[in-house]
Amino acid sequence: MTSFVQRFYILNVFIAFMLLIATKLWPESRILLKATIENGPYEVATALILLFGGIALIIKAIANKAPKNLLTLAQVSLGFLCIVGAGEEISWGQHWLQFESSDFFQQHNQQQETNLHNLMDPVLFSTLINIVIYGGFTLIPFLHWAFPNNPMSQKLQEKKLLTFMPGIRVAIFLMLANCFHGWLIPATYSDSIVLICCWLLGCCVMFRQRTRVESFDWFAMGFCIAGFVICLLVADIFKHANLQYEIRECFTAFVIVVWALGWKELDQPAIPQSDP
């Protein structure tokens, strides 16, 4: 993840925070609602990130002249998953092409749209996503970074699979993405608690290994605190409309796609660096 990409991401998170503040100060502008409506800027951006990211992953796998291995399989698999995710995000163009959902989707889909993810119970779907984000992309990377000789990391090292271990900057960036949720909505209390716990764990781990921490990582962790405060102060906005997911999904998709495009050879050093 280059310094340009990192700063580009931070800038866009900052712009989203400003949208929240502007909507809070001038609610009649409905600026955030306009940005997060169906087929609005954030939803379209998410779909484009997933689409072009998926295509790039598949091209990278095909162009790799090295013998095909697990890395190639992972790139192709995630690439196709991203492309499917792009279609799901925009309901396969249903609102643009103006076609009706079939009887099956009208009866079983939460939003009567032509997509698969809304067939699942929303609480279960969100729980599974949170387990992946907070577990696989936040807790485990921090623990691996601080304690590279733990049994799980040792096993991954033996199998030469550490290229698939996100760096702590990926974890921090995903915590920033997850600032954008309804902090004071009862259904998301667990999200808020887990997010704060992940941040506290990250701070403890980084302080313990402070000689290895880059200044940008401390800045990003501080930016998380700013995000927590801002989103708490404007939490009532998220109670009025389902605005949280479009922003969060867009930033999450961006971080994961950029992380995956950075996969290299399967053999990685035992002691990970802070940069993903």
The structure tokens listed for 238 are 């998220």
Q: Is residue 101 part of a domain?
A: no
- pTM of the predicted model as reported, rounded to 2 decimal places: 0.88
Contact at 8 Å (CB) between 82 and 257? Answer: yes
What's the token pair of residue 188? 């998301």
What does the alpha-carbon distance between residue 13 and residue 133 come to, in Å, rounded to a whole number? 18
Please choose, from the candidates 219, 74, 196, 210, the residue with its C-alpha nearest in 3D space to the C-alpha of residue 139.
Answer: 196
Q: Is 53 part of a structural domain of the chain?
A: no
Residue 19 covered by a domain: yes
Answer whether residue 44 is part of any domain. no
Triad 152, 155, 160: Cα angle to 5° = 125
32 belongs to a structural domain: yes
In angstroms, the Cα distances linking 126 to 7, 19, 138, 209, 245 are: 28, 24, 16, 32, 10
Name the residue range of residue 216's domain: 3-37+120-261
Residue 251 is assigned to a structural domain of this protein:
yes
Q: Is 88 domain-assigned?
A: no
Tally the domains of the chain.
Answer: 1
**pLDDT, tens digit only, all 276 positions of the chain:** 788 999 999 999 999 999 989 988 988 888 888 888 877 899 899 999 999 999 999 999 998 876 668 888 999 999 999 999 998 888 777 777 777 777 777 787 777 777 777 777 777 777 888 888 988 899 999 988 888 888 888 888 888 888 888 999 999 999 999 988 878 777 778 888 899 999 999 999 999 888 889 999 999 999 999 999 998 888 777 765 555 678 999 999 999 999 999 987 665 444 455 554
Q: Could you give the CA distance from residue 239 to residue 12 in angstroms, rounded to a whole number? A: 23
3-state SS assignment for residue 178:
coil
Between the alpha carbon of residue 49 and those of residues 53, 113, 144, the distances in Å are 6, 21, 28
90 is a domain residue? no
